[in-house]
């Protein structure tokens, strides 16, 4: 079984196929979730400059967004990984990542069956992943 972290590393090594769209303004629900995930990671969200414009991965199908361009600094690890159950009862892993400068890089969604995210999660609907990326 492969973990989400391994998928993320493969995508940055050019094995994965992530397509980006034009930058757009971050949605309020996305900003709320990013700040909540930072808090779950034991970080103070106010200490981070979170971009107000983002790129969507996969045309927004699963909800993944790029917050800080990875050309500025590459993937440097994860802040936190949480679990969420979408409205169709499919498990979703959400990972907030950082770059090598410690800035918020991506908020990645991985739905177990790779289908479209149906309902965007609210902070109270996510819980810290204690299974090391396995769902």
Residue 65 is assigned to a structural domain of this protein:
yes
Q: pLDDT of the chain along its 135 residues, tens only?
A: 444 554 454 444 443 444 555 789 999 999 999 999 999 999 999 999 999 999 998 877 888 999 987 788 999 999 999 999 999 999 999 999 999 999 999 999 999 999 999 999 999 999 998 765 555
Residue 135 is assigned to a structural domain of this protein:
no
Strand partners, 93: 83, 110
Residue 133 is assigned to a structural domain of this protein:
no
pLDDT value, residue 129: 84
Residue 98: which domain range?
A: 4-128
Residue 24 is assigned to a structural domain of this protein:
yes
pLDDT value, residue 1: 40
> pTM here?
0.80
List all residues 6 or more positions away from 36 whose beta carbon is below 8 Å from its beta carbon. Answer: 123, 126
pLDDT value, residue 86: 98
Tell me which residue has tokens 């992530």: 18
Nearest 10 degrees: CA dihedral of 129, 23, 87, 105?
0
Backbone angles phi, psi at 111, to 5 degrees: -90, 130
Residue 134 is assigned to a structural domain of this protein:
no
Residue 55 is assigned to a structural domain of this protein:
yes
Domain count, the chain: 1
Residue 36 is assigned to a structural domain of this protein:
yes
pLDDT value, residue 11: 45
């Amino acid at each position: 079984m492969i973990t989400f972290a391994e998928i993320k590393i493969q995508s940055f090594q050019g094995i994965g196929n992530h397509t980006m769209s034009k930058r757009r303004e971050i949605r309020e629900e996305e900003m709320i979730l990013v700040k909540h995930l930072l808090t779950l990671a034991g970080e103070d969200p106010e200490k981070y400059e979170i971009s107000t414009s983002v790129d969507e991965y996969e045309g927004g199908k699963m909800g993944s967004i790029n917050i800080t361009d990875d050309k500025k600094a590459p993937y440097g690890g994860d802040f936190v990984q949480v679990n969420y159950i979408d409205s169709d009862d499919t498990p979703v892993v959400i990972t907030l990542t950082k770059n090598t400068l410690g800035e918020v890089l991506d908020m990645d969604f991985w739905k177990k069956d790779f289908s479209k995210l149906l309902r965007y999660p609210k902070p109270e609907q996510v819980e810290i992943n204690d299974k090391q990326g396995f769902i």
